[in-house]
Amino acid sequence: MSDVDAHAERFDAKAADYDDSNSPEYRACLELVIDHARELLRRSGDGVTARSDSGEVLLDLGTGTGAVALALAGEADRVVGRDVSEGMLERARRKADERGVGTVSFDTGRFREPAYEGPVDVVTSNYALHHLDDAGKREAIGTIAALEPRAFVLGDLIYFAEPDEPAHDPSVDDPATVGHLADALTDAGFVLTAVERVTDGIGVLVAERAR
């Protein structure tokens, strides 16, 4: 079984309880991702144009039960969520149905193969990229850059200070340092325009495409 399949299986098993099991730090990170992405989407029309004639598209990778995607449904013309766990996606679809949200779609896709073609304006990801090792994260950032969004908002387990003791089992959670992510983002053609530290191990990076 690949690492990605193992993560999918683990999240399938967690899906039913996922929305009730998150910490205050997770919620703080989530809110920052949503706020930054909302601000970026609202810049459209202000000298910034959507990449498609049919309006702005937000792509949320590692979307899980849709926390980011559903919160931003009213801010983009179309929101696309991608995840490897069918169990998490199923919950996301159910929430969209319950809320009567018709502009959001959820389907299988991976960071390095998002299974999405077409113009994307803003990419988001919250609490998911750390499931890849550092080389995988760099590859994923390259894949995201190749979609040519104007911005990528990344909330995640990120080391702002190296812990004295390993804080995670790297086969499950493998956070990068903020330096590794900053290098990978700038090498892929992004400029970091905001760095938000939630804790020494959690934060949000806003990366905008260099013009």
Ligand X SMILES: C[S@@+](CC[C@H](N)C(=O)[O-])C[C@H]1O[C@@H](n2cnc3c(N)ncnc32)[C@H](O)[C@@H]1O
List contacts with ligand X (CB under 6 A): 4, 7-8, 11, 30, 61-64, 67-68, 83-85, 88, 110-111, 126-128, 131-132
Contact 140, 112 (CB under 8 A): yes
**Residue least distant from ligand X (Cβ):** 64
Of residues 68 and 207, the one with the C-beta less far from ligand X:
68
Of residues 53 and 169, the one with the C-beta less far from ligand X:
169
Q: How many CA atoms lie within 13 A of 205 on its CB side?
A: 28
Of residues 2 and 164, the one with the C-beta less far from ligand X:
2
Q: How far is the CB of 47 from ligand X (least distance, A)?
A: 30
Q: How far is the CB of 38 from ligand X (least distance, A)?
A: 15
Buried b or exposed e, range 111-150, using 16+ CB within 10 angstroms: bbebebeeebbbbbbbbbbbbbebebbbebbebbbebebb
Of residues 52 and 134, the one with the C-beta less far from ligand X:
134
Q: How far is the CB of 211 from ligand X (least distance, A)?
A: 28
- The phi and psi torsions of 209 (rounded to 5 degrees) equal -70, 130
Q: How far is the CB of 127 from ligand X (least distance, A)?
A: 4
| Residue among 140, 137, 171 at smallest CA distance from 5 | 171
Q: How far is the CB of 151 from ligand X (least distance, A)?
A: 17
Of residues 4 and 192, the one with the C-beta less far from ligand X:
4
209: enclosing H helix or E strand: strand 202-209
Contact 128, 85 (CB under 8 A): no
